[in-house]
Structure 1
Amino acid sequence: MRIGIMFDYQQAGPDAISRLVDDLRQAVEEGFESAWLPQMFGMDALTALAVAGNRVPGIQLGVGVVPTYPRHPGVLAQQARTTALAVGPGRLSLGIGVSGKFVIEQMYGYDYARPVGYLREYLSVLSPLLDGQSVSYAGETIRANLALDAMGEDRIPVLVGALGSQMLRLAGGHTDGAMLWLTGPATIRSHVVPPLSAAATAAGRLAPRVVCLLPVCVTDRADEVRAVAAETFEMYGTLPNYRAVLDREGAEGPADVAVIGTEEQVAARIREIFAAGATEFVGTLFTGGESAARTRALLAELAA
Structure 2
Amino acid sequence: MRIGITLTDSRGPDALTRLRDELADAAANGMQSAWLSNIFGLDALTALAVAGSQVPGIEVGTAVVPTFPRHPVTLAQQALTTALAVSGRLTLGIGLSHRIVIEDMLGYSFDRPLRHLSDYLDALLPLLDGEPVDVRRETVRAVAGLTTPRVGRVPVLVAALGPKMLRLAGARVDGTVLWMTGVSTVRDHVMPTLQTAASEAGRPPARVVAMLPVAVTDDTEAARERAAREFEVYGTLPSYRAMLDREGVTGPADIALIGDEKSVRARIEEFGDAGVTDFVAAAFSGPDAARTRALLGELATAA
Q: TM over 0.5: same fold? A: yes
Query: Between the two proteins, what is the percent identity of the paired residues?
Result: 58
Corresponding residue for residue 291 of structure 2:
294
Corresponding residue for residue 87 of structure 1:
86
Superposed CA offset, 1:181-213 (max 9, x none) = 010000000110111001111111111000000
Residue of 294, 300, 303 corresponding to 1:303? 300
State which drifts further: 268-277 or 75-84.
268-277
Q: What is the rounded CA distance, in whole Å, between the counterparts of 1:301 and 1:257 in structure 2?
A: 22
Aligned in 2, Cα 1:38/1:150: closer, same or farther, shift over 3 Å?
closer
Q: Does the 8 A contact of 1:161 with 1:178 survive in 2?
A: yes
1:281: Cα distance to partner?
0.5
1:51 maps to 2:65 = no
State which drifts further: 11-20 or 205-214.
11-20
Query: What amino acid does structure 1 have at the position aligned with 2:211?
Result: L
Q: Secondary structure at the match of 1:12?
A: coil
Q: Over aligned residue pairs, what C-alpha RMSD do you find?
A: 0.8
Q: What is the rounded CA distance, in whole Å, between the counterparts of 1:64 and 1:108 in structure 2?
A: 20
Matches within 5 A, 1:94-243: 94-243=92-241
Q: What is the rounded CA distance, in whole Å, between the counterparts of 1:29 and 1:7 in structure 2?
A: 14
Corresponding residue for residue 280 of structure 1:
278
Corresponding residue for residue 4 of structure 1:
4
Matches within 5 A, 1:6-25: 6-9=6-9, 11-25=10-24
1:28: Cα distance to partner?
1.2
State which drifts further: 143-152 or 163-172.
143-152
Q: Does the 8 A contact of 1:125 with 1:135 survive in 2?
A: yes
1:286: Cα distance to partner?
0.6
Q: What is the rounded CA distance, in whole Å, between the counterparts of 2:72 and 2:6 in structure 1?
A: 25
Q: What is the rounded CA distance, in whole Å, between the counterparts of 1:25 and 1:133 in structure 2?
A: 34
Q: Does the 8 A contact of 1:162 with 1:168 survive in 2?
A: yes
Q: What is the rounded CA distance, in whole Å, between the counterparts of 2:143 and 2:79 in structure 1?
A: 19
1:288: Cα distance to partner?
3.9
Q: How many residues align?
A: 301
Corresponding residue for residue 267 of structure 1:
265
* TM-score, length of structure 1 as denominator length: 0.97
Q: Does the 8 A contact of 2:169 with 2:194 survive in 1?
A: yes
1:152: Cα distance to partner?
2.1
Query: What amino acid does structure 2 have at the position aligned with 1:292?
Result: A
Superposed CA offset, 1:45-103 (max 9, x none) = 100000111111010100111010000001000000000001102x1000000011111
Q: Which runs of 5+ in 2 are unaligned?
A: none
Q: Does the 8 A contact of 1:138 with 1:144 survive in 2?
A: yes
Q: Secondary structure at the match of 2:199?
A: helix
Superposed CA offset, 1:218-237 (max 9, x none) = 00011110111011111111
Q: Which runs of 5+ in 1 are unaligned?
A: none
Q: Does the 8 A contact of 1:38 with 1:65 survive in 2?
A: yes
Query: What amino acid does structure 2 have at the position aligned with 1:4?
Result: G
